[in-house]
Amino acid sequence: MFGKLKEYCVEGAKVYFTYEGSREAGARPCVEVVSESIFNVFIDYAGTGHCTRAIEGELGERLNAGTGGDIAKLESVSQEEAGVIIRTKELTGVVSDGFHVDFYDREGNLLSAAYRGKRKSGAGVSEAALALLAEEGHEISGAADEHKIQELRCLDAGDCIYGLGDKTGFLNKRHYEYEMWNTDNPDPQEDNFKALYKSIPFMMVLREKGAYGIFFDNHNRTFFDLGKENNDYYMFGAEEGNLDYYFIGGKSLKDVVSGYTYLTGRAPMQQMWTLGYHQSRWGYDSEEEIRGIARKMREHGLPCDCIHFDIDYMDHFKVFTWNKERYTDGAKVIADFKEMGIKAVTIIDPGVKLEKDYYVYEEGVKEGYFAKTPEGEIYVNQVWPGDAVYPDFGNPQVRKWWGEKQKFLIDMGVSGVWNDMNEPASFRGPLPDDVVFTDEDKKSTHGQVHNIYGHNMAKATYEGWKKQTNKRPFVITRACYSGSQKYTTAWTGDNHSIWAHIRMAIPQLCNLGMSGMNFVGTDVGGFGSDSTPELFARWMQIGCFSPLFRNHCALGCRMQEPWQFGGEVLAISQKYISLRYELLPYLYDLMRETEQTGIPMMRPLVLEYDRDENVKNRNDEFMLGDRMLIAPVVEQGARERMVYLPEGIWYDYWTGEKVEGGSFLVRKAPLDLCPIYVKAGAVIPKYPVRMCVGEDKDDILILEAYPGEGTYVHYQDNGEDFGYREGAYNEYRLVNRDGKVDVEKIHEGYRDYGKIEIKTAGIKDAEMR
């Protein structure tokens, strides 16, 4: 480790340090000012520089080139008794002996201190007891595992921890441990799962005063112990790569989320149809069956914008092929769907079937586009098509090739791509760590690029679709890394039709949103196991307010289209799918806000009210934007539930009842009712119910105004392409004065609505404009 601080030098926005007893002469500790509220702490143990794959664009180029940072934001560097003091307008870093770095806010309040002690487990179990437990087949943590690269930072008693993507368990991650290693595990996930499909090594700490985030930009296998090992500190570390973390200071969690998405990128606008209802199943294995699904959606009066084609549509599971035995004319099926207002999204896996004369395989072999063994042979494992090989997505040429291959789907009329099995998954044991891949401009190993494999696949897909269609690409992924939100939406993977998983859905999606992944959802109803009518009805109510609203389940499980559960559940499904379509313009406004600020559409209450002690561990409610509070029922048999409303005045969405916040209430919740509350002074933009997004999209806008005062901005564009970035959009300032709304167009670049109706909540008569 590093001993006593000897000297420092300033090079632009970077401050380098020299210590007595530095364990590696070539590893110069460095603190860099990236912005007024973001510092980078870096030690180049691997000798590679930053090599960030999450931070791209101009900032990423500067960081990778070693010329990052913002000199203008660095106010001063000085040496005082406490150490070297690095100041910006918003943040102060104090660097002392041992390369310990403490951070303070602009008022001098301590945000985060380095832990100066040694790691120590709180298990209190002797070596003899550990040996006995091992003989009995039990696992328990004994002595703390030291990592080659690790950072320990202090925890105070009241600190709460959020983020890390869609890890299992509850909203507050304090007292748990996790691994960042993208993992395909279809077992019913429980609170003690350390790894799932995604690796997003970003955590936020909410303190009594202020908040901060840590983004550990190391895409090797990394480890986070968030106070499980010892209540006095948390730890993050790795066995390979560099110590490379970004400290993001803020007064609120929103400040931290905005800072993190400034670094890693913000989720762009999606096409509006993607906000509609999606129907899917692994097992729609014929043209006749999938046509029947579309027909029944319309027969039952169920709005629907998309049907997903799982692996059944491919010829022997070969990517970029179509099964002509099951689907005589796939392009005709898709064209007929479009006539009904329904888009097609097709699944694609990375595994390419090893088959002579199969064009994708032959092209990849010829160009050297597949991962190889250390001996130079193409590496082979097994996935759905049998023996398969893996595209080397870290190679820019491979990404370009894969993007060009999307033309097959585009020409068929497909509207989006669903990337699955991209951890990468394999059936014949995991890929060995020494399989040879590429990391941009250099050779690497599977162990080093595993966590960015799905990220690179999504990037290839997104860029291919953008180039060939000039529309906003719709890409869904199972595996990803920090920054993937620039290219892809996501779902939480293979959940199960169990009550534990509907309860977990809310904290999973909320933590994903705070981790940059805005457009996310779960498999509504559950993927594995068999849903019950009650469970499905309650899950549809959560899905209605989730950014991605997709009903999906597995082959061999109970079919769960809405009509499969009887008339009561079908009516509930109609009610909440229709409500979703009413809320489309509000959801679209929130998507625009995310692109501009990084703040997600679906938010835990703590993101909006982070000084309220009652919301720090609230797992079963969430905000949709800053105006609507959703309190789903997630307990079997419950027909009422306790609801907490933060301070302020709220209105019951269903009854119009005025409720004083800062208190708990018991709300009756029969099976067809999900409690919803709207803030006083809110204006909720709505559409009339329609069968699909494109149906009369700009005909009527309904502004539902609630008593009170507030000002909001509503956004409108064509919902398809990137013209809005050149000014092709409208913005309206909506000023609500106790239910009377003034509408002012503040930006004009798109066609007007045919009609705007203003309705005061609870009043039937509408004012026409």
The gap from C-alpha 123 to its chain's centroid, in whole angstroms, comes to: 33
First-to-last CA distance in the chain? 70
Is the Cβ–Cβ distance between 715 and 729 less than 8 Å? Answer: yes
Q: Is 514 left (phi over 0), alpha (psi -120 to 50) or beta?
A: alpha
CB atoms within 10 A of CB 659: 17
SS3 for 453?
helix
Q: Which of 364, 142, 105 is nearest to 250 (CA)?
A: 105
| Secondary structure element (H or E) that encloses residue 475, with its range | strand 475-477
For residue 338, the one-letter residue type is K
| Alpha carbons 203 and 56: distance in angstroms, whole number | 20
- Active-site residue flag, 423: yes
By three-state DSSP, how is residue 638 classified? coil
Nearest-angstrom CA–CA distance, 424 and 699: 45
- Whole-number Å distance between alpha carbons of 309 and 312: 7
Segment holding 534, helix H or strand E: helix 533-543
Dihedral of CA 56/60/61/64: which sign?
negative
Give which of 320, 273, 282 is closest to 588, Cα–Cα. Answer: 273
Cβ 178 vs Cβ 194: under 8 Å: yes
> Which residues touch 236 (CB under 8 Å, ≥6 apart)?
150, 151, 201, 203, 214, 216, 222, 223, 224, 225, 245
In angstroms, how far is CA 98 from the centroid of its own chain? 36
Please say if 420 is a catalytic residue: yes
From its phi and psi, is residue 48 left (phi > 0), alpha (psi between -120 and 50) or beta?
alpha
Contact 223, 177 (CB under 8 A): yes
In contact, 609 and 615? CB cutoff 8 Å: yes
Distance CA 519, CA 512 (A): 9
Asked about 387 being catalytic, the answer comes back as no
CA–CA gap between residue 193 and residue 229 (Å, rounded): 16
In one letter, which amino acid is 151? E
* Contacts (Cβ under 8 Å, ≥6 apart) of 240: 46, 148, 149, 218, 220, 221, 447, 448
Tell me the chain's radius of gyration from C-alpha atoms.
Answer: 26
Would you say 493 and 197 are in contact if contact means Cβ atoms under 8 Å apart?
yes
Strands (E) located in 133-261 = 149-154, 160-163, 177-180, 202-206, 211-216, 222-225, 233-238, 243-250
Tokens 């960030």 correspond to what residue?
Answer: 52
Choosing from 184, 287, 310, 420, the catalytic residue is 420
- Integer Cα distance of 604 and 210 in angstroms: 18
Segments in 300-438 forming alpha helices (H)? 330-339, 359-367, 396-405, 407-412
Set 392, 494, 582, 593: catalytic member: 494
Active-site residues: which are they? 420, 423, 494
